[in-house]
Amino acid sequence: MNPGLIVKLRPAGPWRSGPDSGARNRVDPIYHSDSLYGAVTAAMATLGELDAWLEATARNPQGAAARFSSCFPFQGDISFVVPPRGIWPPAAAAVTTGKVRWKSARFVPLPLIAAMLAGEPLSEDQWAIDGPSECLLPAGQPGPFLTSVRWSAAIDRLAGSAERHATACIEFRPDAGLWAVVSFSDEVAHSRWAEPVRGAFRLLADSGFGGERSRGWGRSAQPEFTDGTLPELLLGPLPAQPPAEPAESQTPAPPPAAEPAATSHWLLSMFAPAPEDAVDWNRGNYAVVARGGRVESAAGSGQPKKQLQMVTEGSVLVAGETIRGAAPDVAPDGFAHPVFRAGFALSIPLPAQVTA
């Protein structure tokens, strides 16, 4: 169990998180954890904490003192999340009817995941899928956001010509927004970094997250913070593993050679494995995507970062008791300083009987 912090952002206008394809007329409703770490790091530089922050996270050989999930949508009191692969969609035996196409839901309410992990059946009469947002919602409730396209024009005043272009964005309903969770490695890290992280989010709420910030996009009202302990802060107490059955004989057989315990980790962040992460890539259920983007720095902006293959949110990895992740340097060759791509793992251990 680690100290944790939930952050809720209520957008004050459009938001843009570009898709992996880079297409301007498309948008990704997830603001990914590597982008969130980059934004917080830029805010730490403004707050005078950059060197200490990098030493505690990207350059820390013991693992990052603070890790971020990706930002997922919320509406009212319902926080949505990418469900665990292999557990979602639910099996036919776990539902009461056959009306909802569960696999069409990209985002699922957190309480529903907790109910599934506790073995509770799902009643389809209570749920519906909102097509535009791909959120599973209580029946009759509208989705938390819509995708729209805004048009702009680049004007050449000398030649008198104009070139129109379209940029996609996310527009949230008044009671909706994005939420993320921060996990601190221990109480010492929480004591040192909880307030600077809060300050970074407050600064970013004013300056903006994501693309098109010069147009005022990506801003939000003052963030809302909730402290607690992970994973209970998200899902409540998870079901305990059943006790081992007693041996029939009074003289038990010698135990087999001890093997490292394997745990199923449900990722809420993008993940780049560290050398010491003992992931069994032949098991689990995961997806991989190439992450790129361009550098934003006072030393030079616009150059493409090196691409990095990363495991996506919602993936379930089978590994040791913990996984750390790493922050590789993806700066262009010969760049003035390192550019870290945060692949720190923020994951929830899943009960063994659920993933067996």
Three-state DSSP string of the chain: CEEEEEEEECECCCECCCCCCCCCCCCCCCECHHHHHHHHHHHHHHCCCHHHHHHHCCCCCCCCCEEECCEEEEECCEEEECCCECCECCCHHHECCCCCCHHHCCEEEHHHHHHHHCCCCECHHHEEEECCCCEEEECCCCCCEEEEEEEEEEEECCCCEEEEEEEEEEEECCCEEEEEEEEECCHHHHHHHHHHHHHHHHHHHHHCCCCCHHHCCCCECCCEEEEEEECHHHHCCCCCCCCCCCCCCCCCCCCCCCCCCCEEEEECCCECCCCCCCCCCCCCECCEEEECCECCCCCCCCCECCCEEEECCCCEEEECCCCCCCCCECCCCCCCCCCECCCCCCEEEECHHHHC
Q: What is the pLDDT of residue 356?
A: 47
pLDDT at 102 over 50: yes
Directed axis angle between helix 187-207 and helix 33-46, to 10°?
A: 90
Q: What is the pLDDT of residue 159?
A: 73
Q: What is the pLDDT of residue 261?
A: 64
Residue 330 structure tokens? 């993806």
Compute the mean pLDDT over every residue in the chain, rounded to the nearest whole number. 88
pLDDT at 239 over 90: no
Q: In terms of C-beta density within 10 A (0-12 exposed, 13-18 middle, 19 or more buried), how is residue 322 classed? A: middle
Q: What is the pLDDT of residue 19?
A: 84
22 vs 342, higher pLDDT: 342
Q: What is the pLDDT of residue 345?
A: 96
Which region among 61-70, 233-242, 260-269 has the lowest average model confidence (pLDDT)?
Answer: 233-242
According to DSSP, the β-strands at 72-75 and 288-291 are: unpaired
pLDDT at 114 over 70: yes
239 vs 2, higher pLDDT: 2
Q: What is the pLDDT of residue 229?
A: 94
Which region among 16-20, 73-77, 161-165, 173-177 has the lowest average model confidence (pLDDT)?
Answer: 161-165
157 vs 194, higher pLDDT: 194
Q: How confident is the model at residue 98 (pLDDT cuts 50, 70, 90)?
A: low
Q: How confident is the model at residue 63 (pLDDT cuts 50, 70, 90)?
A: very high
Whole-number Å distance between alpha carbons of 92 and 84:
17
pLDDT at 244 over 50: no
pLDDT at 200 over 80: yes
Q: How confident is the model at residue 160 (pLDDT cuts 50, 70, 90)?
A: low
Whole-number Å distance between alpha carbons of 129 and 131:
6
Q: What is the pLDDT of residue 286?
A: 96
Q: How confident is the model at residue 25 (pLDDT cuts 50, 70, 90)?
A: confident
Q: What is the pLDDT of residue 352?
A: 65
Average pLDDT in the 270-278 region? 95
Which region among 130-144, 251-265, 297-311, 323-337 has the lowest average model confidence (pLDDT)?
Answer: 251-265
Q: How confident is the model at residue 237 (pLDDT cuts 50, 70, 90)?
A: low
Average pLDDT in the 129-155 region? 89
Report the predicted TM-score, pTM, of the whole model to 2 decimal places: 0.88
pLDDT at 222 over 60: yes
